[in-house]
Amino acid sequence: MVGATACGSGGTGPREELSAASMGELAALAAAEPVAAEADELAAATPSPSTSAEKQKFAKTRFVANASLAAGATYQWIVKPYRAGKFKKGAKGRTFALIKAGLAGAFAYNRLKAAAENAKGDPLLAKAVAPLTAGIESLKGLGSKLRKGQAGDGDIDSFDSVINSVKEAGQSAGAVVTDKVPSASQLGS
């Protein structure tokens, strides 16, 4: 095996020369291959609906999931503790309740925005949810306001009102939203 190359030839045959352009193309191909493979895996992992009826069904399903999580978080960690007096100065567990409420407020806002985006996939749902986008946007800063202990009756009522409006809009479009309390780990993500 004296004189053998890594390719296995004895070095006696003609050598194939690669131009700089060919090398550049190979480098680009090598760099793009992992990205393409990842895209292929994602496409295979996420089946795409083939009919418009399926797309609408999936849009409703995603809407219900996101709106239900927002409703559950709002009730469990904002409305219920507020009504129980946990946000008042001197209340036992106030700091922890405010931190959870702040996280829940940000979480609910993000899930409601996602639900509004999901609603666009179903014409009836989109029509029902469209008037609520301003109300959803009004919740944007309330998470930090809750966390700082600066939220009052009006802020809590606005959260409750927007959630109830989203539930009613979903109900009118055949997408029933029920409270689904997210886990603490879901709040932080």
Residue 14 φ/ψ, nearest 5 degrees: -70, 145
Structural domain boundaries of the chain?
Answer: 54-174
DSSP 178: -
The pLDDT tens digits of the residues spanning 37-80 come to 555 555 555 555 567 777 777 889 999 999 999 999 999 999 99
Is the separation of the CB atoms in 102 and 47 below 8 Å? no
The pLDDT tens digits of the residues spanning 115-146 come to 999 999 999 999 999 999 999 999 999 999 99
Report the pLDDT averaged over residues 88-96. 93
Whether pTM > 0.85 for this model: the answer is no
Instruction: Count other Cβ atoms within 10 Å, centred on residue 80.
Output: 13
- Model pLDDT, residue 26: 47
Is the separation of the CB atoms in 136 and 112 below 8 Å? yes
Is the separation of the CB atoms in 105 and 81 below 8 Å? no
- Model pLDDT, residue 81: 95
Report the pLDDT averaged over residues 5-24. 51
Place 170 in a pLDDT band, splitting at 50, 70 and 90. very high
Report the pLDDT averaged over residues 168-181. 93
Going by CATH, does the domain composed of 54-174 fall within 1.10.10?
A: no
d(CA 142, CA 158) in angstroms, rounded, equals 10
